[in-house]
Chains A and B, each alone.
Chain A
Amino acid sequence: MTIALALEQLLNGIQLGVMLFLMAAGLTLIFGVMGLINLAHGSLYMVGAFACAAVAAWTGSFWLGLIASLACAAAAGAIVELAVIRRLYDRDHLDQVLATFALILIFSEGTRWLFGDFPLYLDIPALLQGVVTLPGDASYPVYRLAIIAVGALIALGLYLLIGKTRLGMRIRAGESDREMIGALGVDIRTLYTLVFALGSALAGLAGALVGALQSVQVGMGEPVLILAFVVIVIGGIGSIKGALYGALLVGVTDTLGRFLLPQFLALFVDPSQAGMIGGAMASMLIYVVMAVILAVKPRGLFPPAHA
């Protein structure tokens, strides 16, 4: 194994982590502020990807598509909050799971109805095509580096938003004590809609960014949603900081596991068997990591102080 390969794999892990962070940040924000389990978060990811692909195909510009993905996902999130989610805050988690699961089905069939059964095409913009050469003679796609940069910017932005602005203060207050902040005259209903739209926009952005790497198709959000849940459980539900560290941990563990486990096993059994067993073990690895972390820290790595 060369340095170049190790570096490339590490970057791959970070890139996967950053993408998971965009999903997990919205999910954990919504849970932290509103106490709501939103299974339809993956659908908003899909909405973002489809909006980007459709607008990019129509206008020929990926950048317009990216703006459209943010706008569409935020709008879809706000509409869903106003129409459905708003009625669920006082219900228990089972009702929320049921209702948001129904939303997954509605979003999936709606998207199929609008765009058909076949995957859409979305390519990365000309500006971000190609590869760069890194130290140690490793080469890495520019687009993936750009995803890492976007994720870092979003993490910084969220940090400033939550920590330094009035809206952030209200969000934190809403997490601590819902009734009190309502009593102090803050319009909690609008705040909820805003937070939900923000979380949705982040999911939509992740969908659009990843759509250019993968296939834009119905049902693309659910596998990511499962990983995002793993991330927020590891990080501590409700904690943005936890989501960031959890996402990076899951991304790097998953990538390096997929890469190293088969090679490690190949020392003991023949390569074909090692590939098969290693592949199976690698897909379990993040769940093993989650179990270990929960055994040591049952509330995740960075549990919010008050929850």
Chain B
Amino acid sequence: MKKMLAAATMALSLGASGLAMAEPLKIGMITTLSGGGAGLGVDTRDGFMLAIKQSGNEDITVVTEDDAQKPELAVQIADKMIQSDQVDVLTGIVWSNLLMAVVPGAVAQGKFYVSTNAAPAALAGQGCNKLYFNAAYQNDNLHEAMGEYAAKTYKKMFILAPNYPAGKDSLTGFKRYYKGELAGEVYTKVGQTDYAAEIAQMRASGADGIFVFLPGGMGISFMKQFAQSGVKIPVMGPGFSFSQDVLPAIGDAALGAKASGQWAPDFDTDVSKKFLADFQKEYNRLPSIYAVQAYDAAQLILSAAAEASVKDADAFRNELLKADIKSPRGNFKFNTNQHPIQDIYLTEVVKKDGVLTNKTVEKIFTDHGDAYAKDCKI
């Protein structure tokens, strides 16, 4: 019975999408599968492949390569994928500095790039491109949301981020909505693992709230050390600081931390619940926000491929722009700069059945775009 159903669904989906389906599409995924940032890349790959697998579309092939979080390696891989693998669409890069190294070259060679995470300001405003789509957000978005939340709740914030483009975007985004007093504004070295000096400053600063943007291992180190320091100021950050890939390693030190995100595992929609169940069944762990973003990126590419040939760039682009997908996040559409317009929520780290996870608290922004779209002329 199950087989028959599957066959019927297959036939239906084939019928619905018509001839365009037969067009083979090759996707090149460059992501971080080794080194300290591997957890992010693995979730990106797994979320993306889940959507591809669910589609059952055999005309789509995905080649995956590890960039080891090194820009020069990412550029080499992109060149190889474009020239020898002949991919049509590139995707998967986690880090903004790698994305900036790859995307301008790739779109200049007429390839589509659909970002699963990184979204530097440089590619959202004047530097936007018809072939560059972002399925995640614009880098500033989650920080803007925390700024909005902090502006309502706190009077004197201490803010901290690593000293690299996304870190600067982060604090800029935060300050765009938080206009109150700052107890301190600190930039740390990228990859820094000891935050004792910064925590001491927080203790002495008299702040009533702390905002940190420290992705991956940096966030784990910070949260553990913060909890051990005995400083009792509430901590908040963008969703990645407390995402599912880092929570088990932070442990109970993360409990109560507030964060902003476009999705949390407790979303009460059928699409989200189904995604959560499918992901857990396939990989036996909870998905992080990176997995959701990659899942949506794959859905976007699939939706466009079902209606148009990638060889016809204009038609393919128009299909992508429609964003005809069912996102676990809920509302999702593209802005004029091909970055998302979506809702952003406040979440809190809680323990549920012995597992640390994020609980949705309230909606911060409805249909939120970004500050750069007005500078984008396409």
Contact = CB atoms under 8 A, between A and B. Distances in A.
**Binding between chains A and B:** yes
Interface of A: 1-2, 4-5, 8-9, 12-13, 15-16, 108-109, 112, 117-121, 123-124, 129-131, 139, 141, 143-144, 210, 212-220, 223, 255-256, 258-259, 262, 271-272, 275-276, 278-280, 282-283
B156 to A, nearest CB: 14
A279 B171 CA distance: 14
Nearest to A277: B187
With a 10 A CB-CB cut-off, give which of B41, B203, B204, B250 has the most chain A CB atoms.
B204
Contacts of A1: 204
Nearest to B248: A121
B53 interface: no
A260 B221 CA distance: 22
Interface string B10-46: 0000000000000000000000011110110110000
B46 to A, nearest CB: 10
19 contacts: A5-B204, A12-B197, A15-B196, A112-B38, A117-B33, A118-B39, A121-B249, A129-B228, A131-B230, A141-B229, A141-B230, A210-B193, A217-B217, A220-B36, A272-B171, A272-B185, A275-B185, A275-B186, A283-B163
A109 B196 CA distance: 30
A215 B221 contact: yes
A214 B197 contact: no
A9 B194 contact: no
B189 A279 contact: yes
Interface in B163-219: 163, 168, 171, 182, 184-189, 191, 193-194, 196-198, 200-201, 203-204, 217
Contacts of B41: 117
A223 B36 CA distance: 11
B155 interface: no
A255 B249 contact: no
Contacts of A256: 197
B64 interface: no
With a 10 A CB-CB cut-off, give which of B33, B38, B197, B229 has the most chain A CB atoms.
B197
B206 to A, nearest CB: 11
Contact of A276 (B168, B193, B228): B168
B36 A217 contact: yes
B196 A255 contact: yes
Contacts of A16: 194, 196
Contact of B186 (A4, A262, A283): A262
A256 to B, nearest CB: 8
B245 interface: yes
Contacts of B33: 117
With a 10 A CB-CB cut-off, give which of B196, B229, B245 has the most chain A CB atoms.
B196
Nearest to A270: B185
Interface in B217-231: 217, 220-221, 224-225, 228-230
B187 A218 contact: no
A214 B187 CA distance: 19
Q: Which 10 A-B pairs have the closest CB atoms?
A: A215-B220, A279-B187, A131-B230, A119-B249, A12-B196, A214-B221, A117-B38, A5-B204, A215-B217, A8-B200
Given A219-B36, A258-B197, 8 more contacts: A117-B38, A119-B39, A131-B228, A214-B220, A214-B225, A279-B188, A280-B163, A280-B187
Nearest to A8: B200
Given A215-B249, A279-B189, A12 B220 contact: no
A44 B116 CA distance: 35
A123 B196 contact: no
Contacts of A109: 34
Contact of B249 (A139, A216, A259, A271): A216
B251 interface: yes
Contacts of B171: 272
B235 interface: no
A61 to B, nearest CB: 16
A283 B167 CA distance: 16
A5 B194 CA distance: 17
A108 B221 CA distance: 20
A131 B191 contact: no
B39 A117 contact: yes
B201 A118 contact: no
Contacts of A283: 163, 189
B305 interface: no
Contacts of A279: 163, 186-189
Contacts of A275: 185-187
Contacts of A210: 193
A124 B34 CA distance: 27
A5 B199 CA distance: 10
Contacts of A219: 34-36
B246 interface: yes
Contacts of A112: 34, 38
A220 B249 CA distance: 14
Contact of A4 (B204, B224, B246): B204
Contacts of A9: 197, 200
Nearest to A212: B224
Interface in B37-66: 38-39, 41-42
A112 B33 CA distance: 10
A273 to B, nearest CB: 10
Contacts of B188: 258, 279
A117 B42 contact: yes
A217 B230 CA distance: 25
A112 to B, nearest CB: 7
B185 A259 contact: no
A8 B203 contact: yes
Contacts of A4: 204
Nearest to A260: B197
A278 B201 CA distance: 15
A109 B225 CA distance: 28
Given A8-B203, A214-B217, A279-B187, A123 B230 contact: no
B225 A213 contact: yes
